[in-house]
Amino acid sequence: MDDSPRPLRFATRAVGAGRPPAAPDAPLNPPVVLASTYGSFGDLEYGRYANPTWTAFEAALGDLEGGACVSFASGMAAIGAVLELVPPGGLVVAPRHAYTGTVARLRELESRGVLRVAWVDVTDTAAVVAAAEGAALVWLESPTNPALELADIPAVVRGAHSAGALVAVDSTFATPMLQRPLEHGADLVVHSVTKYLAGHSDLLMGAVVARDAALVERVTAARALGGAIPSAFEAYLALRGLRTLPVRLERAQATAQHLLARLGGHASVVEARYPGFGAIVSIVLPDAEAADALVRGVRVWRAATSLGGVESTLERRRRWPGEAPTIPEGLVRLSVGLEDPEDLWDDLAQALPR
């Protein structure tokens, strides 16, 4: 008979990971450590290298993703640390549809000759694998922002590794609750912690998770040398938000699917995009004018550029100059929150063009 303990399930780990050891009078939550300097001859030394409040968050997210986590001041800082793994002049394979910050950073680095970029459609697995020949890094988003396309992560990983390239996956939309790229062989996972992981639109933070110790060491060094460290208080808030990720995302996903069924049949909706999981829905209206009218006409939904919070937000993505020209002018990205599904639908219905 096997008496070994059964592995804890995701929701239980989300609640329990990163807590201090149980002891009489010990706090259940890790404290906020506000320190720039520590006593010498220990593991901390200085506030740019480590902080116990970061460590608690990193332990929790690392446990959920299945690797070692390094936290950063923002999602862009985490992206930048991964791109520093690319050697000078190295080739990066990247999605044509992706977070505009990622695209802008890659274009800026390419313009200075720091690296080269091959832009691909992540849904065309053969094309992605072919582009990986001679590449240093294959960067994936899955689902992509805001087109909501899915990459075949295992197949891309196999092809990229055969070509000698690393694979990094921005899994912000999916979170470790719905997708764990390291289990499919990816080398690095990137998150904008600002979004679903923290979940309350009240902090900026990013994270990189990897299994390979050498990669973790290099990413950690990039954080220390670049100084893109999170504040202790934001790490505390992010860990508190992570505790409720399972219930928040489960509810938001159910509402997103409820809304999708209605949006898909609405006369003014040209297309409703949904990757099959998560709480982001993108709808395409006939033109920019119709999309702008929707965004300005809602009362419960909030017009805002971020996503993943408890409140439902929406925006027309092509209002940003850096958005890909292949994204329709009338595309509106919906980030579904925790309000009553019927209130969200009533609000959309009264604002959609008739």
> Looking at the domain assignment, is residue 4 inside a domain?
no
**Nearest of 211, 190, 248, 311 to residue 14 by alpha carbon:** 248
Q: State residue 354's pLDDT score.
A: 81
Q: Average pLDDT in the 330-343 region? A: 98
Distance in angstroms (rounded) separating the CA atoms of residues 243 and 247 = 9
Claim to verify: residue 14 and residue 86 sit in the same structural domain = yes
Q: Is the pLDDT of residue 5 over 90?
A: no
Claim to verify: residue 33 and residue 104 sit in the same structural domain = yes
Claim to verify: residue 53 and residue 151 sit in the same structural domain = yes
Q: Average pLDDT in the 288-300 region? A: 98
Enumerate residues 6+ apart whose C-beta is below 8 A from 120: 93, 94, 95, 96, 127, 128, 131
**What pLDDT, in 10s, does the model give residues 120-167?**
999 999 999 999 999 999 999 999 999 999 999 999 999 999 999 999
Helices and strands (H and E) in the chain: how many = 12, 12
Enumerate residues 6+ apart whose C-beta is below 8 A from 345: 258, 259, 262
Q: Average pLDDT in the 273-282 region? A: 98
Residue range of the domain that includes 162: 10-243
Q: Is the pLDDT of residue 273 over 90?
A: yes
| Number of other CB atoms surrounding residue 222 within 10 Å | 21
* Domain count for the chain: 2
Claim to verify: residue 132 and residue 60 sit in the same structural domain = yes
Q: Average pLDDT in the 38-44 region? A: 93
**Running DSSP on this structure, what letter comes out for residue 13?**
H
Q: Average pLDDT in the 14-21 region? A: 95
**CATH at residue 303:** 3.90.1150.10
b (16+ CB within 10 A) / e for 225-254: eeebbbbbebbbbbbebbbebbebbebbbe
Reported confidence tier of residue 1, pLDDT bands at 50, 70, 90: low
Express as a percent the part of the chain with pLDDT over 70.
Answer: 99
Q: Is the pLDDT of residue 103 over 80?
A: yes
Looking at 212, 243, 274, the residue that finishes a domain is 243
Claim to verify: residue 120 and residue 170 sit in the same structural domain = yes
**What pLDDT, in 10s, does the model give residues 227-266?**
999 999 999 999 999 999 999 999 999 999 999 999 998 9
Indicate the SS3 state at residue 4. coil
Which residues are identified as catalytic? Answer: 48, 99, 170, 195
> Looking at the domain assignment, is residue 229 inside a domain?
yes
- Residue corresponding to tokens 């994936």: 140
Q: Is the pLDDT of residue 90 over 60?
A: yes
Q: Can you list the pairs that 29-37 forms with residues at least 24 positions away whose Cβ atoms lie under 8 Å? A: 29/236, 29/239, 29/240, 30/56, 30/236, 30/239, 32/232, 32/233, 32/236, 33/232, 34/232, 34/233, 35/232
Question: Which residue type, as a one-letter code, is found at position 48?
Answer: R
Q: State residue 215's pLDDT score.
A: 98
Distance in angstroms (rounded) separating the CA atoms of residues 254 and 112 = 45
Reported confidence tier of residue 208, pLDDT bands at 50, 70, 90: very high
Q: Are strands 302-303 and 206-210 parallel, antiparallel or unpaired?
A: unpaired
Distance in angstroms (rounded) separating the CA atoms of residues 342 and 77 = 38
**Nearest of 290, 340, 285 to residue 312 by alpha carbon:** 340
Can you give the length of the chain in residues? 354
Looking at 243, 258, 290, the residue that finishes a domain is 243
